[in-house]
Amino acid sequence: MSTTPIARLLGIMAALRDPEGGCPWDLAQTHASIVPYTIEEAYEVADAVEGGDPEELRDELGDLLFQVVFQARIAEEAGTFAFDDVATAIADKMVRRHPHIFGEVRGLDQAAVNAQWATIKAEERAAKAERDAASGRPPAEGTLAGVALALPALARAEKISRKAAAVGFDWPDAGQVVAKVREETDEVAQALAGEGPEAVAEEIGDLLFSVANLARHAGVDPEEALRRANLKFQRRFSAMEAEVTQDGRTLPEAGLDAMEAAWAAVKRRER
């Protein structure tokens, strides 16, 4: 009997979670226990996009899809929802949020689409508040409610500052945010000069938050920018290490001066 690829995948997931003959590791997992794997797979998709290899991207998207299937299977076993409910919910949401594509409204410009999107999102938040009230869950309140705690901290900082800016709590231009970054840098230096580790950590946190705010003002995704910076540092460090150790020395044996000279040479070659 022929079957669709998604039906085959759902069948594989059901077999892995079969209490009578499934995989012990898969059977032991919960919604919470597989969250780290879900996050990791999302980042590996981003890496595959950066690498530009279509086959790698295909494989990583499959790994990410498997995480969705896994979560849906656990929910189905608990009687809360199933994979089809997940697919239906996102399809309904996309149709609801794009009436200019799937409804009777046509020819909207970008500003009108953005305004329409904000209205629809507000309606969705109100509906969620009603559901929470009906089920006895405490409502999420305030402008910053709903910003997921599980987001990477840098991405969450950008989203928090964007929500605050949407209600007018924002610097008027990027130049003033640059000044704030400098102010926070000075406060880090002061804390390092005479305060304890907790104060230093707090000031560094303030600095990172202000940098995320600056990225938002500049139209830059801070998480993606830092990811690229990490890759650049890794690439340059590896090239420097290969150059310094080609005569058999280790990096500690070569010393900082040799490493810095090789680092500068690597940077010159990249320009």
Band the pLDDT of 252: cuts 50, 70, 90.
Answer: very high
- Residue 208 CA to residue 154 CA, distance in Å, equals 8
Does one domain contain both 120 and 10? yes
Residue 2 pLDDT exceeds 60:
no
- Residue 102 CA to residue 91 CA, distance in Å, equals 11
Let me know if residue 46 belongs to a domain.
yes
Model's pTM, two decimal places? Answer: 0.65
Does one domain contain both 18 and 94? yes
Does one domain contain both 13 and 111? yes
**Coil, strand or helix: which one is 137?**
coil
- Residue 191 CA to residue 200 CA, distance in Å, equals 5
Helix ranges restricted to H, the chain:
5-16, 24-28, 35-51, 54-78, 83-97, 99-102, 110-135, 153-166, 174-194, 197-217, 222-244, 251-254, 256-270
Mean pLDDT within 89-93: 94
Concatenated DSSP letters of 54-89: HHHHHHHHHHHHHHHHHHHHHHHHHTS--HHHHHHH
Domain limits at 237?
226-270
Number of domains the chain is built from: 3
Mean pLDDT within 97-101: 87
Based on its alpha-carbon atoms, the radius of gyration of the chain, rounded to whole angstroms, reads 25
| Domain end (from 220, 235, 261) | 220
**Coil, strand or helix: which one is 50?**
helix
What CATH number corresponds to the domain at position 124? 1.10.287.1080
pLDDT, tens only, 207-244: 999 999 999 999 999 988 998 899 899 999 999 999 99
- Residue 70 CA to residue 78 CA, distance in Å, equals 13
